[in-house]
Structure formats: structure tokens, C-alpha cells
Amino acid sequence: MAIAVLAIVLATGSPARAFDNSPLNWDEVFVPWTKAVSFEGALAHYGGRLPGDGIQAWNLAGRISVFPFGNFDLRRHKYLKYLGGAFEVGAEPMFARFRNKGQNFAGLGVAGHYYFTGLSFYRVVPWIGGAAIPGGSDLDLGTETGGTRLTGPFLATIQGEAGASYFLTPRQIIYLGLQAQHFSNAMLNGTYHNYSLNTPWGGVLGFTFLFK
């Protein structure tokens, strides 16, 4: 993933421009209805519910989104100035591979990010994000004793994220963060086939292109 991001940067601009660290005008970067296309990859660990240690799963996702409100500039508000930012919402397809089980998940859902431009430091901007993605899976975990079995074909994931982004240019963003994942089938595959799968830790790396 890191190599792919570096290749994109080198292909879309000179190194001097790509790593220019001069401050940006966030009202110009995030005008209302700015469009975005994003690509990201993540690694995850789920603990004892999946076999093996370390990285137990990985996922790839894309996102087509908009910033409908532009940049909220709250610098005139004494107590709210640090909460200013830009809200992103869009559609996100995702594919996940539970590598030690050889099983998969694929789905399409809604995702959103909020960039805290009020907390920016030069071109570094903290962000938070979340997604709800229903889909299909051949995952088959556990036993039915005590209702601890988690199976497909329906499965959904809820994700929460937080991290930092760096604006390589006003139109290109690289971001890195922590990603928490929750998988469940909401008992739609049977009462005794429902049990959540959660990440003690996970990480995400992505790249965003902005379009006016």
C-alpha cells in the first residue's frame, strides 16, 4: 500500500510540489460540494475468535464522496474554533479477507469523514470517520453452544476510525489512522448463529483525490 501511494504521488506531481508544506486556505480547498475519490487498505486483529496471532484479516475499500457544506470556519467562536472542519459523506464498497480462515466478506455501504481543519498544523489535519457496510460473507466461526456462532451469508460491519491526514497538494491527501471494526449478522441468519466479531486493534492507510 505504501509503495502504491508513493507511486501515485510521483505520477501526479513533482516531488518538490508534492511535499510543499506551506499552509493552505481550507475555505478554498473545501468549497461546498467538493467531490472526492478515495482508496484505502486496512489490517486488523480480532483476538481469539479467529485463529493465529498478529494480522488476522485485511480489507480494501474505495469511496466516492462529496463535501456538501464546504469548510466550517469557526475561528470567530471562542469555544468552538477548534471544531471547525469539513464533512465528507459517500458510498463505499469494501472487500475483506479473513486470511487465517480463507474466508471473505464483500459489501457496499455509507461512509463519512470529518476533517478538523480548526486543529490543523500546516498541512496536517486530524480526522475521524465511520462506516456502515452490509454485505455477504462465507465466514463460519465458533459453535452454537451459548449462541456464539457467527455465520453468513448476510453480514454487516460497522467501522470507527481516527487519524491524521497530510495534504500533499490542495487536491491530494494521504491519511493514516486506527480502525475499529465490528462484524455481526443481526440474527438474520438464525438466533443461534449470531455473535459479534470485534477488533482489539486495526490500522488504515489511504489516499484521496479532491475535485471541484
**Predicted local confidence at residue 53, as pLDDT:** 87
**Predicted local confidence at residue 150, as pLDDT:** 87
Specify the CATH number for 33-93+100-211; select among 2.60.40.10, 1.10.357.10, 2.40.128.20, 2.40.160.20.
Answer: 2.40.160.20
CA distance 6 to 29: 22
- pTM of the prediction? 0.86
Q: What is the pLDDT of residues 172-210, one digit of tens each?
A: 999 999 999 999 988 887 766 778 899 999 999 999 999
CA distance 184 to 25: 42
The identity of residue 43, as a single letter, is L
Q: What is the pLDDT of residues 122-179, one digit of tens each?
A: 999 999 999 999 999 999 887 776 667 888 899 999 999 999 999 999 999 999 999 9
**Predicted local confidence at residue 75, as pLDDT:** 76
